[in-house]
């Protein structure tokens, strides 16, 4: 599931925030060596990227963002953003949280 959809669905279900982590079972399964010696994601790796439902800068949707470009107001582009606090963390940092909630 795309991280932007995770944030969108979290908001739809009334969550105030979302913690996103990369599960080691998905990104560095047994037998796969983690970076820098292999292609797997180390347990300290953090997913990064956009959460919005659009390409590029949300204030200049579909156009390059430059000093001279038209920039939409926050009111105009806030529908492209998730609208809740979202924090990416590493799997190593997620483990204690998962243990505390018996996940």
- 45-68 tens-digit pLDDT: 998 888 877 777 888 878 888 888
* Contact status, residue 88 vs residue 20, Cβ threshold 8 Å: yes
Bridge partners, residue 21, by sequence: 89
* Contact status, residue 88 vs residue 18, Cβ threshold 8 Å: no
- The predicted pLDDT at position 103 comes to 57
**Cα-to-chain-centroid distance, residue 23:** 13
- The predicted pLDDT at position 44 comes to 92
* Contact status, residue 20 vs residue 87, Cβ threshold 8 Å: yes
Rounded Cα–Cα distance for residues 85 and 7 (Å): 9
Residue 7: exposed, middle, or buried by beta-carbon count in 10 A (0-12, 13-18, 19+)? buried
């Amino acid at each position: 599931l795309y991280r932007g959809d995770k944030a969108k669905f979290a908001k739809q279900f009334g969550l105030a925030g979302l913690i996103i982590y990369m599960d080691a079972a998905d990104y560095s399964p047994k037998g796969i060596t983690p970076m820098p010696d292999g292609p797997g994601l180390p347990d300290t790796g953090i997913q990064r990227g956009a959460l919005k439902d659009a390409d590029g800068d949300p204030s200049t949707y579909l156009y390059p963002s430059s000093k001279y470009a038209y920039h939409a107001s926050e009111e105009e582009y806030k529908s492209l953003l998730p609208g809740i606090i979202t924090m990416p963390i590493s799997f190593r940092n997620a483990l204690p949280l998962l243990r505390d909630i018996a996940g």
